[in-house]
Amino acid sequence: MFRSTPHLVEQTLESRTPIAGFLGVSAVLGVVLALVSFFAYGMLAVPILIFAGAATVAGHALNNRYPHPVLGACNIVTLARVAMIAFLTGALVSPDVSVWVVFAVASLAFALDGVDGWLARRADLVSDFGGRFDMETDAALGAVISLWLLISGTIGAEILILGFMRYAFVAAAFVWPALQAPLPQAFRRKAICVVQIAALIFLLFPLTPQVAAIPVAAIAALLLSWSFLVDILWLVRRAA
């Protein structure tokens, strides 16, 4: 009976290692984010508040649902992407920011999508937490870019379809319980997510011809709507 105590203590310490690493990386990224935001915008309140909120939610989920004893580079990459997205939120309230800065940071955050998954598979650290963390980060990136495109006058309110479809689905699930069930893995969903963000990045590119904006946005929105419709129909049939 008493021999199991050291083993239990060891397990407890190991289980706290990922959250300790997460908090440490968050602190470092928070300092970098504050410095970069102050240099780019002359203020840091909005990016820091967004990052702190996102890191708090993600840290709580990691502490409760992450099954591995180490944080892993995969989750560090995703957390770095969250910091980039938080930086981009500053552009929403800073009218003087260069569109090239917004484009560069958004492109880097997009380019790192998939790197975290590859690192997780390579280190055998795949988890439901990591998949959800990555998915919500993608959704946040799309939302921030779409808002910036709307605020900057690049395109009309229809762009919000590309940025907020995920959140509309989540909101609908509160009143339609069938949508709360887990969905199976689908390559189609991942591929269209790439198309969605790629389209937003294309629209964000300063040299994109205006004549191409509406067709690109419309095609991406149709594909995204179709993908969500497929998932909704699957969930409804499953619940029937």
Residue 108 CA to residue 110 CA, distance in Å, equals 5
Helix boundaries (H) for 112-186: 115-122, 128-151, 160-175
pTM: 0.89
For residue 16, the model assigns a pLDDT of 54
pLDDT tens-place string over residues 172-215? 999 998 898 888 888 999 999 999 999 999 999 999 998 898 89
Residue 100 CA to residue 56 CA, distance in Å, equals 30
In the predicted structure, residue 226 carries a pLDDT above the cut 60: yes
In the predicted structure, residue 3 carries a pLDDT above the cut 50: no
pLDDT tens-place string over residues 110-160? 999 989 989 999 999 999 999 999 999 999 999 999 999 999 888 888 899
In the predicted structure, residue 79 carries a pLDDT above the cut 70: yes
pLDDT tens-place string over residues 26-38? 999 999 999 999 9
In the predicted structure, residue 5 carries a pLDDT above the cut 50: no
CA torsion through residues 94, 96, 99, 104, sign: negative
